[in-house]
Amino acid sequence: MNHNLYLSGSLFTRDYLSDAIQSEPEYALVNVDEIGKTLRGIFESFPTERTPSEAQTEDDLIWPVLAALGWDHVLRQQNLAPVGRDNVPDGLLFSNSEAKSLADTHVEDWKRYNHGVVVVESKRWDRPLDRGQRKKDEASAPSTQMLR
């Protein structure tokens, strides 16, 4: 398996992803060859040579990868703030259909976050995550956005 595709960041160590993860009980439940084939297909069909936009990266890469990994219960573009639209992450993932159903009972978007387990914030392919679009514009850096 080409681990370089999955190791471009530092969220997990190389040792964990290639060896230690196999001792996790959940690992035994996954058909690694099948999920690897599915993920490779998604990545191979994604047009990285054209620098896809954030929307295309979401639609053609991020959401298909999350679906392949079993994230079936999602809400997109839920406003995190009670007032205004300054904090609208790209998605909210739920551990199961019951949690999503509970979230759906709330009229206010921001209350739905009480039932989610993962917040998704997407950026265009190859977008640096540690700096803003313009020099000295740290407020627009994706890392700063996630901290907010």
The 10s digit of each residue's pLDDT in 101-112 is 999 999 989 899
User: What is the spatial distance between Cα 93 and Cα 16, in angstroms, rounded to a whole number?
Assistant: 24
Structural domain spans, the chain: 31-147
pLDDT band at 2 (very low <50, low <70, confident <90, very high): very low
Half-sphere exposure of 28 (CA within 13 A, CB side): 3
pLDDT band at 143 (very low <50, low <70, confident <90, very high): low
**The pTM of the whole model exceeds 0.85:** no
Q: Which residues of 9-31 are buried (b: 16+ CB within 10 A; e: fewer)?
A: eeeeeeeeeeeeeeeeeeeeeee
Q: Tell me what the mean pLDDT of segment 118-126 comes to.
A: 84
Q: Tell me what the mean pLDDT of segment 81-92 comes to.
A: 78
The 10s digit of each residue's pLDDT in 12-38 is 777 887 788 888 888 888 898 999 999
Q: Tell me what the mean pLDDT of segment 74-98 comes to.
A: 85
pLDDT of residue 1: 43
pLDDT of residue 142: 62
Q: Tell me what the mean pLDDT of segment 68-74 comes to.
A: 94
User: What is the spatial distance between Cα 13 and Cα 140, in angstroms, rounded to a whole number?
Assistant: 28
